[in-house]
Structure 1
Amino acid sequence: MILRPLGAAAGVVLLICGGGAAQTVPEPPDFRMSDYRAAVPETLAGATVIDAAEAERLWREGAAVFVDVLPRPERPAELPPDTYWRAAERLAIPGSTWLPNTGYGVLAPEVQAYFEAGLASIGEATTPAVFYCLKDCWMSWNAAKRAIELGLEDVHWFPDGTNGWVERDLPLEPLKPWVPETSD
């Protein structure tokens, strides 16, 4: 019968490919240093991992500040100086503070200082803070971990980010990067 060889072949394919089952990503002991757009762990020690429903509840109740850490692309160095260039608009969870480029594994001292100042501007160490970027993006995991290490006491990590937010038909708004206040 022809079905038996096909059934056996399908079984071999399932064994090789893992049957389509999602593999659990272990929580690393330190920051993710590369390949930031990849499957993320289900946990973050010291943080509360939340789904889109919980993120929506916190947002609607005004019970947390939201921190977007999606990187902001820089003007490509190879563009001629007279070429017009504009970064893509960032659409984010309304009311968020955007601290771009703060989710990398290692931060330059000025970016670390920017991150710390940005966090200080949004509340006390006890203020609940939700960190996000996009689904399957380690930037928010790194930033939330960094916030915990800096002493934030109520860190929430929203691993589905704006993708999960949009899947619930929730609004987005254009967001500009946070700029520190300057004293004149």
Structure 2
Amino acid sequence: MIRAVALALLLAGPVWAETVAEPSDYRGEPYRAPVPVTLAGAEVIGADRALALHDEGRAAFLDVMPRKARPEGLPEGTIWNEPPHQTIPGAVWLWDTGYQALAPAEDARLREGLTRAQEGDADRPLVIFCRTDCWMSWNAARRAVEWGFDPVIWFPGGSDAWEQAGRSLVRAEPVAP
């Protein structure tokens, strides 16, 4: 019974244990922490709406989860295999674009990724996500709004809520740097 109620709440929309105000600027560490229920200029959606948008096939889904970097200090010649990243089917993985401050390469990756995702249709919804309680998607969605993209949709439950709703994730390939 409790599990069914928890799943119903996840599907119904964003649910947070505490109220968090929108900050006046981008959020830094810790990135995994409770997030606001709002994002000025963007629509905030729960899993049910994300599933519907995905099934309609018109919205672009953009994953901003960071990419795992090769650990520093590995001995020369050590083979390191980047762990796979799982995402929502059809999503574009714009890795490392949700930090508080972006280097020029990440700034360009996000701007170009948002533009390509709209496929020449300025009205194509951009659904930006990461994981539950992850400020990176909030930061990236805020940038999209500030840069004039519209409509911007923030899915704060991200891939965690997607999976909890019974949907599968797929292996992501990062966009070219």
Offset of 1:32 from its aligned partner? 0.2
Offset of 1:120 from its aligned partner? 1.6
Residues 19-98 of structure 1 aligned to structure 2 (within 5 Å): 22-98=17-93
Q: Runs in 1 of length 4+ with deviation above 6 angstroms?
A: none
Offset of 1:34 from its aligned partner? 1.6
Q: Partner amino acid for 1:161?
A: G
Higher mean C-alpha deviation, range 121-130 or range 98-107? 121-130
Offset of 1:63 from its aligned partner? 2.5
Partner of residue 175 from structure 1, selected from 169, 172, 177: 172
1:162 is matched with which residue?
Answer: 159
2:112 is matched with which residue?
Answer: 117
Residues 137-179 of structure 1, C-alpha deviations (whole Å, 9 max, x = no match): 0000000001111111101100011110011111211111112
Q: Aligned equivalents of 2:133 and 2:144: distance in 1?
A: 19
Q: Partner amino acid for 1:60?
A: D
Task: Return the TM-score normalized by structure 1.
Answer: 0.83
Q: Aligned equivalents of 2:96 and 2:162: distance in 1?
A: 21
2:126–2:152 Cα contact (<8 Å) kept: yes
Note the residue ranges of structure 2 that are not aligned, 5 or more in a row.
Answer: 1-15
Residues 41-62 of structure 1, C-alpha deviations (whole Å, 9 max, x = no match): 0000000000000000000001
Q: Aligned equivalents of 1:125 and 1:142: distance in 2?
A: 21
Q: Aligned equivalents of 1:174 and 1:137: distance in 2?
A: 20
Q: Aligned equivalents of 1:22 and 1:75: distance in 2?
A: 35
Task: Return the TM-score normalized by structure 2.
Answer: 0.87
Equivalent residues, number? 160
Q: Which has the larger radius of gyration?
A: 1
Aligned-residue Cα RMSD (Å) equals: 1.3
Q: Partner amino acid for 1:79?
A: L
2:114–2:126 Cα contact (<8 Å) kept: no
